Amino acid sequence: MTDNNFKLTIEILNNNKIDYWICHGTLLGIVRDNNLIPWDNDVDIAFFENEIDKNNLLNLFVEAGFKKKDKFFKDDGLITLKREGGKEVDFNFYNFNSDNQNVYVNWYIPKNNFMNLMHALSMGNYYNGKYKIIIKKFSFLKSFFKIIISFLIRFNLFYRKAGYQHPYSLIKKIVEKNFDDLIIRIPANYENYLNYIYGDSWRIPRKNFNWLKDSPATKLYDGK
């Protein structure tokens, strides 16, 4: 049985006739395994930013019981929604490059390992990554680290930008597919898409895949 939040997300998008496509790790699991990847904690959905009303989109999901995940930085290309009983849902907002041949999404990430550590400490008991047992011992200091991070962000010292960039041709045609009693929308050219995002070994599962270091499609920016 598919994830409850994935199922509800698709139903909301389909019922409201919202254009989207399933992307990244969610598409990888559906194509490769005919299932969502068990160790992937989120569901990946993509939109073109200039074709979507973000406020209306968010309201539809809040009405269905989702909550928007708080983030330090508000203007990146990602909205994350949470709801009990299933995976988090990531909405990725793509734009065209100036050449109109490629599309990209920007996310904000900590600039270095020290900033990564501060970010983990600011999450307290919600942190579920590497060294989580040690990090959670310092959860009583999370408010302090949030204040420090907010100060660093103000002076552009905490985040840098990174994201996926790939040819528009890989998602130009979106088709419907039956998956677990759902009608989902995926790129027609999905094999080339997955090859571009994950490399030519995408058919081999990798629990330790790091999108920042391992994806051929990752593009780093200057952090401004």
- pLDDT tens for the chain, 224 residues: list them: 589 999 999 999 999 999 999 999 999 999 999 999 999 999 999 999 999 999 999 999 999 999 998 877 767 899 999 999 999 999 999 999 988 899 999 999 899 889 989 888 888 777 767 778 888 888 899 899 989 998 998 888 998 999 999 999 999 999 999 999 999 999 999 999 999 999 999 999 999 999 999 999 999 875 43
Q: Quote the pLDDT of residue 71.
A: 77
Q: pTM for the full model? A: 0.88
Q: Which residues of 3-31 are buried (b: 16+ CB within 10 A; e: fewer)?
A: bebbbbbbebbeeeebebbbbbbbbbbbb
Q: Which domains does the chain have, with CATH numbers?
A: 4-107+161-213 (3.30.460.40), 112-157 (no CATH)
Please name the helix (run of DSSP H) or strand (run of DSSP E) that holds residue 11, with its range, or none: helix 4-15
The predicted structure's pLDDT at residue 222? 59
Q: Which residues pair with 109 in a beta bridge?
A: 160
Q: How far is CA 4 from CA 92, 157, 176, 180, 211, in A?
A: 20, 38, 20, 12, 25
Altogether, the residues listed in the chain come to a count of 224
Q: What is the pLDDT of residue 223?
A: 42
For 83, other C-beta atoms within 10 Å of its C-beta total 17
End-to-end CA distance of the chain: 42
3-state secondary structure 31-62: HHHCCCCCCCCEEEEEEEHHHCCHHHHHHHHH
Return the pLDDT at 1.
57
Residue with tokens 């080339």: 192
HSE of 100 in the Cβ direction (CA atoms, 13 Å)? 0
Concatenate the DSSP letters of all residues of 135-158 into one string: HHTTGGGHHHHHHHHHHHHHTT-S
